[in-house]
Amino acid sequence: MKQTLPSIQEIHDSFDAGTSDPLSLTEGFFTRIKASKHNAYITLCEDRALQQARNLSIELKTAFQGKVPRQTHPLFGIPLGIKDVLTMDGVRTTCASRILENYVPPFTATAVARLEVAGAVSLGKLNLDEFAMGSSNENSAFGPVLHPTHPDRVPGGSSGGSGTAVAADLCVAALGTDTGGSIRLPASFCGVVGLKPTYGRISRYGQIAFASSLDQIGPMTRTVRDAALLTGIMAGVDENDSTTLARAPEDWVAVVDRANGDSSSLHGLRVGIPAEYFIDGIDPGVRQAIERAIEFLKQEGALVVPVSLPHTEYAVSTYYVIAVSEASSNLSRYDGVRFGVRPEGAMRAATPSEFYKEARALFGAEVKRRIMLGTFALSSGYFDAYYRKAAQVRRLMRQDFENAFQKADVLVSPVSPTTAFRLGEKSKNPLQMYLTDIFTIPASLAGLPAMSIPVGEDADGLSIGMHLIGPRFGESTLLRVASRIEGGLS
Amino acid sequence: MTDLGECNKMFVISAYLWQFHEPMTELNEALIRKVAELSRLKLDEGEIPGYVTSIGEILNHVDQLRRVDTQGVEPMFYGIDDSLRLREDEVRSFAPGKDAQPRILESAPSVEDGGFKVPQIVG
Amino acid sequence: MSLTCLGVSVDVNTEFEAVIGLEVHVQLATDSKIFSSARARPEPGNSVADEAVNKNTTPVCAGHPGTLPVLNQKAVNYAIRAGLATSCKINLKSIFARKHYFYPDSPKGYQISQYDLPLCEGGHLDIEWGEEGEMTKRIGITRIHMEEDAGKSVHHHGYSLVNLNRAGVPLIEVVSEPEMRGPAEAGAYLRKLYAIVTAIGVCDGNLQEGNFRCDANVSIRPKGVKEFGTRVEIKNVNSFRFVEKAIEYEVERQRQVILSGGKLVQETRLYDSQKNRTFSMRTKEEAEDYRYFPDPDLPPLILSEEQVEAIRASLPELPDQKRDRYIREFGLKRYDSTLLTSDVLWGRLFQESVALCGRENGKILANLMIGEGMRLVSSADPDETKGFTAKQFSDLALAVADQTVSMTAAKQILAILFEQGGEVGAVIDREGLRQVSDLSALEPVIDEILAKNPKQVEEYRSGKEKVLGFFVGQAMKATRGKANPALLQDLVIRKLKG
């Protein structure tokens, strides 16, 4: 574990001590971002961020007399990176697509707005796979993001910019979004903490939709406590999103702080090992690291129990039918009429169909493939066999989890069977790429909270993440376990 | 780095076995063209065979769902179980304190007299 | 060569019957839109045309990426009200679905509507038609579902401009069973539905602004045949009379196509009210594939029995109930009562006028309104009372009741009020229409008439009492309706006998 970068708490301590302030911290990030070759950011909001940071620095000295107002502004002066799938009023938001290359939204995503109210400084918009469709961040119209430590490798996707930026010190923390693993996979590949909360915890208002019933915003951070902090600020009912949960967020920072100070906090915790997640194809390095982590949990007093998730083998099929169907619908709005780019050809179109085809010609190949797949799965004559069938299997997968959580409090597995793969290695074969997400997809389908927590490196020095899956609303358990692992496993 | 085929052995095996089943859908160029038309996507002639192959492979994999007995299973169409939360009937500006109309037009590629401009064949 | 239709041979003498089903889009009278807090209808006093283009358009209405729909509580309540008022079953669980089509007035590329599990199902309404409303029938309502309206394109030379002020305005679509058999039934259905949705306050009822729009599905078949013929959909007609005329035209057009050996195609047609004909808009060669699926942004709408019952309890008196009450309370004829209670504005005017002149004069009032008021306004659509006020009607009813003016004069007064406006008393005085109950004024008039018509006088005296009417009529004419009819009759009899 390379836990060398300061946490939010430590940054606030340095503000208190007067050894740093929001402005100098923010300036430092822009210096590093500009020198970096990772291609982590698509758009920088430098003027906006520096103005914000300058004001905060002044306030710190004047209104707050040098003491960070942690209660009222828990993210006071903390520079964040925002995945470019989230809207910010007046800041270009591209979703890594040429079709939105010039889109400047007139409103801000609820999650981002809440972080900024808490004092966060948004540095810019982070690179991703176009419309969050991908597992390697190679599907970006703005070029691939490079792995933070191994430039010939992918950072994972779709929140690849977020993973690399956090790991490479290009922001203190980042927002990612997760539809089938898009936070957890890059967190694992890049060696940072990634949390996908229970579906509905965090408002999707301002999150450009990929698959609405699966999409969820979450933090990617240096520490478990930072993840708890960001989640707590973003979570809760939003009147602009009908799918936010009525259930109130918990004080997850307190959960983490308690776990850190209590070596008995995992005593009697039932850790479930899903048989279907420990298949032959897992990299030996990954397997070893996960087994070592499980051993650590045992030492902490946890009880390891075998569980079964029998429908796991259908996860990828189920996921792809549902995700692409919803995506084909969500992406119908890109027609160059009200926003976005309208290519030259559209105005010369001779038929309505031609107009739309010209206007929608800017989608990348993977996006087009998924739209067509989804259109097909929803079309008359196929709906029952594909979409409805997949939605039924999804229910069965969720029941698998409910059964498993009768026996266990948390489930663990690798995030991915492999560590970060090479650029170009899987990009020629979509199905192989889809299979990268086999362990992360089921929790997405079931709407469960899940995390990636670094547990070591393979022989090549590539990070390995352990995957924690909790029951619905079980963020506290995940954070408790992750926090012990973070503190005890090195 | 393990070989890809190794790494996803279980799935590759099932995909292998399933190549011998009778596919649920015969994917051909005509069907790709039809779906592209429904999706309003322009495909170059050269692209079509590639999509037939890649989409065909995915659909072939997805056919495994047929093996699952889903008789009487309620489909899960939503991410949450809560019922719909409603809002009060209240008029509110999305950009309080600002003149909202120009904001909504600023992001449009072509505007005239406050309207979004499109070629007449479409409108 | 013999012609056949639906397996039956037909010729010019074959009697065809129309099969008509109506889909009515009713705009719900909410302030904000169905899924966003943008303004849904102009501020009071403004018309839709007063609103600047795209003024009432938010990122949600424009389908900006990242926006989400949040359902308007009041729209739901209104839709339930409409369902209850048309005897529908309210589904305690209903589902919103996405209906996909690419068109610039459809900002998301799909419309949020209801498909499987609509809010209301299985209702009906009772219609009356014919000269005196003597024909009655119960028409089934298949379903009522909620949906969002589309935007509007305005066409210019070579380009169009899209205005999304209307996009997301809340609608209910009321779908009838195909149970109407002619234009008059369709008209009666629309008037009854209109009366209901305006009476229960869920629709402003402004036809010019498209608050109540009708699509008619029309086919014909030889009478007695059970199967349905090829159906034509006539889109977006927003006047009751035009719907009747469009159907009338369409039924005859289809008959002629069949009798000329042609083939009807399933298509969408538009009605041109200027030319009084329908013309083809598009044929359904390749049926649209709307790819309906449950909207993942909107979980199921779950209602409780209590919520529905609370709305049921809050329903005002419905037009049919009011009609029956008016028959009881004012002794009105059923048809007259129907006329008064099926139109919100006339109904309101009647109620306000009764409040001023007293229930005992309700019948006189009704006669004034139906016999003359509605006739004067008949050229306009039913949302018009052309500026008549309750004060005018009640003053006039009182003047008739206390014999200040005759009914005949009252009708003249109404015509003057309709043309020029004004106050009843002033018009009576100005026009000299006060009823003449003064014997000395009437005697010379009658004497003159009797002198001019000796033949009729002789007839009366020989026992033909019917000619009395002739004399009274002549006297009325001579006094321009001002004579008190009862007094006049007494006087004529006295003179004839004397």
- Per-residue pLDDT 10s for chain A (490 aa) are 444 899 999 999 999 999 999 999 999 999 999 999 999 999 999 999 999 999 999 999 999 999 999 999 999 999 999 999 999 999 999 999 999 999 999 999 999 999 999 999 999 999 999 999 999 999 999 999 999 999 999 999 999 999 999 999 999 999 999 999 999 999 999 999 999 999 999 999 999 999 999 999 999 999 999 999 999 999 999 999 999 999 999 999 999 999 999 999 999 999 999 999 988 889 999 999 999 999 999 999 999 999 999 999 999 999 999 999 999 999 999 999 999 999 988 888 888 899 999 999 999 999 999 999 999 999 999 999 999 999 999 999 999 999 999 999 999 999 999 999 999 998 777 777 777 899 999 999 999 999 999 999 999 999 999 999 999 999 999 999 999 999 998 6
Do A190 and A167 contact (CB within 8 A), yes or no?
A: yes
A218-255 exposure pattern, b = at least 16 Cβ within 10 A, e = fewer: bbbbbbbbbbbbbbbbbbbebebbbbbbebebbebbeb
Q: Among C43, C39, C35, which Cα is nearest to C56's? A: C39
pLDDT score at C474? 86
Task: Please write the tens of the pLDDT for every residue from C184-195.
Answer: 999 999 999 999
What local confidence, expressed as pLDDT, does residue A1 receive? Answer: 40
Is C321 in a helix, a strand, or coil?
helix
Helices within C314-384 (DSSP H only): 319-330, 334-341, 344-357, 362-368, 374-377
Per-residue model confidence (pLDDT) at position C394: 93
Q: Does A282 map to a domain?
A: no
| HEC-encoded secondary structure of A96-159 | CCHHHCCCCCCCCCHHHHHHHHCCCEEEEEECCCHHHCCCCCCCCCCCCCCCCCCCCECCCCCC
A470 is a domain residue:
no
Option in A200, A328, A391 nearest B77 (CB): A391
Chain A residues with CB under 8 Å of C296 CB are 211-213, 243, 326
- Which residue do the tokens 């994917």 mark? B27
Please check whether residue A207 lies inside any domain of the structure: yes
| Cβ pair C296:A213 closer than 8 A | yes
User: CB within 8 A of C424, min separation 6: which ones?
Assistant: C391, C392, C395, C396, C399, C413, C417
Tell me which residue range forms the domain holding B42: 1-69
Enumerate residues 96 to 125 of chain A having a beta carbon within 8 A of any beta carbon in chain C. Answer: 100, 103, 105-107, 109
B76 within a domain of the structure (yes/no): no
pLDDT (average), residues C407-427: 88
Q: What's the pLDDT score for residue C383?
A: 46
Q: Per the domain annotation, does B34 fall within a domain?
A: yes
Residue A353 touches chain B, beta carbons under 8 Å: yes
Residue of C37, C54, C154 lying closest to B101 (CB–CB):
C54
- With an 8 Å Cβ cutoff, is C154 touching chain B? yes
Q: Rounded to whole angstroms, how far apart are CA atoms A417 and A308?
A: 18
Q: Hey, what are A174's tokens?
A: 């980042």
Distance between CA atoms of residues C416 and C395, nearest Å: 14
Domain annotation covers residue B53: yes
| Residues on chain B touching C75 (C-beta within 8 angstroms) | 89
Q: What does the pLDDT read at residue C375? A: 80
Given an 8 Å threshold on Cβ–Cβ distance, is B54 in contact with A421?
no
Q: Find residues 320-349 of chain C whose CB sits inside 8 Å of chain B.
A: none
Residue B87 inside a domain? The answer is: no
Chain B CB within 8 Å of residue A351 CB:
yes
Nearest-by-Cβ selection for A369 from B51, B109, B119: B51
For the stretch C427-447, pLDDT in tens is 888 888 787 777 777 888 888
Check if the beta carbon of residue A224 is closer than 8 Å to that of residue A453.
yes
In a domain, B112, yes or no: no
Asked if residue B12 is part of any domain, the answer here is yes
Selecting from C58, C72, C76 the residue whose C-beta is nearest the C-beta of B94 gives C58
Using a CB-CB distance cutoff of 8 angstroms, which residues of chain A are in contact with residue C164? 338
Tell me the pTM: 0.90
**Given CB atoms, is C114 within the 8 Å cutoff of chain B?**
no
- Counting as contact any 3 or more CB pairs under 8 A, the partners of C are A, B
Whether A92 and chain B come into contact, CB under 8 Å, resolves to: no
Share of chain C above pLDDT 90, in %: 56
Residue A38 lies in a domain: yes
To probe the interface with A, which of B6, B7, B25, B53 has the most A CB atoms within 10 Å?
B7
Q: What is the pLDDT of residues C287-324, one digit of tens each?
A: 679 999 999 999 999 999 999 999 999 999 999 999 99
C68 CB neighbours in chain A (<8 A) are 204-205, 240-243
Q: Is A315 on the interface with B (CB under 8 A)?
A: no
Local structure of residue C359 (DSSP, 8 states): G
Question: Predicted ipTM?
Answer: 0.96
Residue at A135: amino acid letter: S
Distance of CA A422 to the CA centre of its chain: 21
What domains appear along chain C, each with residue ranges and CATH number? 21-217+236-241+289-307 (no CATH), 319-431 (no CATH), 439-497 (1.10.10.410)
Q: A108 — contact with chain B (CB < 8 Å)?
A: no
| A113, part of any domain | yes
Q: Which residue has the higher pLDDT, C359 or A321?
A: A321
| Helix (H), strand (E) at residue A303 | strand A303-307
Q: Do C65 and A93 touch (CB under 8 A)?
A: yes
Alpha helix positions (H), C174-218? 183-199
**Best to test chain B binding among A325, A393, A422, A464 (most B CBs inside 10 Å):** A393
Any C CB within 8 A of A243 CB: yes
Number of domains in chain A: 1
Q: Determine whether the interchain pair B109/A313 forms a contact, defined as Cβ–Cβ distance below 8 Å.
A: no
**DSSP label at residue B78:** -
List the 31-70 stretch of A: residues with Cβ below 8 A of B.
Answer: none
Range of the domain at A141: 8-260
| Chains touching A, CB cut-off 8 Å, 3+ pairs | B, C
Residue C369 has pLDDT above 80, yes or no: yes
CATH number, residue A221: 3.90.1300.10
- B4 CB neighbours in chain A (<8 A) are 425-426, 432
* Residue C124, min C-alpha distance to chain B (Å): 28
**Residue B21: band (very low, low, confident or very high) from pLDDT cuts 50, 70, 90:** low
Compute the distance between CA of residue A58 and CA of residue A22 in angstroms, rounded to an integer.
Answer: 9
Residue A75, CA distances (Å) to A70, A222, C408 in order: 7, 14, 84
Is A369 among the domain residues? no
Asked whether residue B9 carries a pLDDT value surpassing 60, the answer given is no
Please, what is the angle between helix C424-431 and helix C407-420, to 10°? Answer: 110
Closest CA to C316 of C344, C340, C355, C337: C344
Point out the residue among B77, B87, B120 whose CB comes nearest to the CB of C73. Answer: B87
Residue C382 clears pLDDT 70, i.e. is over it: no
- % of chain C with per-residue pLDDT over 70: 97
Residues from chain C contacting residue B81 (CB–CB below 8 Å): 299
The count of domains in chain B is: 1
Residues of A designated catalytic: 83, 158, 182
Of A282, A356, A435, nearest to B40 by CB-CB distance is A356
Determine the pLDDT at residue C378: 66
